Structure 1
């Protein structure tokens, strides 16, 4: 597996990568973020959004930015399409998670259960929140209400997760991995319970592409 594919798998599949769900903007006006997260996981069945991602080194000295589009369809189907600075596709088809690097002409896959675990993907894919995470509200900051999610699995690749809501809408996810690297995903124009095409969550390696299972 290429270094770029491993990096992508680490930041989206284990960090994040499967589905993301948002709840429709309805309900109590002053509900806390934890309530919003529970409603979000329970009620949003499909969705799409544009996203930007910023990865910061443990010492804060280096930052890398990327952007693209995201779709999900519960359970466990999602699509992250990176457009900048280079093209890359991450697809969860319900059984496997695929990563396709167009520049390298290489595709890799892992069984979904191995790729998710106690990760942001598992949290957003609608698994058992309280089984996989210790959840708590955090003080509001940056104009958002935050939930902290600490993985119960001691072997998790993450130290901590924060999920940010603006009102009832999912707005951001912040991840600190086991090496102290920070990743933040910001969602834009997020729409939920919309029509999504089933074929968007299928991946067939193009002819001539090397496949690593």
Structure 2
């Protein structure tokens, strides 16, 4: 939502400060929020915008580089980062895949909330939209797995993360019931492959 200026000169500085606040909020979030939990809805849109897939579940993270996505709809899937590896378990296929954290975390919207540092990105304010203040994060590394990442805040509360990967696919996570610095158990970020599951190392 773009601000409509009633008196351009009087509101220009204030509007610029409001947009800059989103970058400040992002930095404060990474600095101060060491863990958290939330419910989420994820919408993945194809590069041409024609196809959308929606899923939902709950999200838990603990810095550095530990997170757990438990998808419950439309099918069960668990994604766990234990600080060293990222594990993906598909319950329907009874299949597990894993890869080193360094090769995976940049491609997931959990990159910044769970472990990313603003120093690795070029941050800039964006216009407010959908009731949120947004900050953009452009990766400084040219070989990054995503082209852009933006983070939306409702006040100081993390409300959304959107990532566009190098293929143009857009993933939007919208959070509700976010609890900053929620207590977490180390067991939540340990993954043990279910008995009989196929395990694929990538």
**What range is the shorter-chain TM-score in?**
0.7 to 0.9
Tell me how far 1:120 sits from its aligned partner: 4.1
Give the structure-1-normalised TM-score: 0.81
Aligned residues: CA RMSD: 1.8
**Cα 1:157/1:126, change in 2 over 3 Å:** closer
Correspondence for 1:13: none
Residues 64/192 of structure 1: CA separation in 2 closer, same or farther (3 Å cut): same
Distance between the aligned counterparts of 1:31 and 1:157, measured in 2?
26
Q: Is the 8 A contact 1:119 1:151 kept in 2?
A: no
Query: Which residue in 2 is equivalent to 1:182?
Result: 170
Alignment partners' CA distance in 1, 2:55 and 2:65: 23
Q: 5+ residue gaps in structure 2?
A: 1-17
Given candidates 155, 158, 161, the residue that maps to 2:143 is 155
After superposition, the C-alpha distances for 1:53-90 in whole angstroms (9 at most, x for unaligned) are 01111222111100000001111111000000110000
Structure having the higher Rg: 2
Alignment of 1:63-212 (within 5 A): 63-117=52-106, 120-130=109-119, 132-212=120-200
User: In 2, Cα distance between the equivalents of 1:139 and 1:210?
Assistant: 46
Q: Which runs of 5+ in 1 are unaligned?
A: 1-28
Q: Quote the Cα distance in structure 2 between the aligned partners of 1:151 and 1:98.
A: 24
SS in 1 for 2:25: helix
In structure 2, C-alpha distance between the alignment counterparts of 1:118 and 1:99, rounded to whole Å: 13
TM-score (norm 2): 0.85
Q: Measure the CA separation in 1 of the matches of 2:88 and 2:116.
A: 22
